[in-house]
Amino acid sequence: MSRIPPSMTTLIGQFLAVVDAYQAAKERSSDSHLSTLLFNDGKSIGRLRAGKDLHTRSFENGMRWLSANWPEDAVWPAGIVRPKAEPTGSARPARRTSRVAA
């Protein structure tokens, strides 16, 4: 039985494992560039690596984006559930919205 590394037992650990595999397959995708594509914020992945948190909806949108844009020749990390393919164009980065009192 293979042992799961402790970093893979959290959702953020799993997310970062997928990010790392994506970046390795793309060879030139920095944290800030990928973070901008996923979250419209170039610092989000760096904050996750520093131990910060992520909203559930942002996590789900990021995982869907990675799944929809996964390089054909790359292997999705073992032990991490891959989101099902969404119809073309539906995997979009999380958007920040400001709430304004009416």
- The single-letter DSSP state of residue 30 is -
Locate the domains of the chain by residue range. 6-68
Contact present, 39 and 53 (Cβ < 8 Å): no
Q: What is the tens place of the pLDDT at every residue in 31-65?
A: 999 999 999 999 999 999 999 999 999 999 999 99
For the whole model, what pTM was predicted?
A: 0.74
Q: DSSP string spanning 33-102?
A: HHHHHHHS-TTHHHHHHTT----HHHHHHHHHHHHHT--TTSPPPTTSPPPPPPSTT-------------
Q: In angstroms, what CA-CA distances link 5 with 2, 35, 49, 79, 86?
A: 9, 24, 16, 11, 29
Check whether 8 has a pLDDT greater than 60. yes
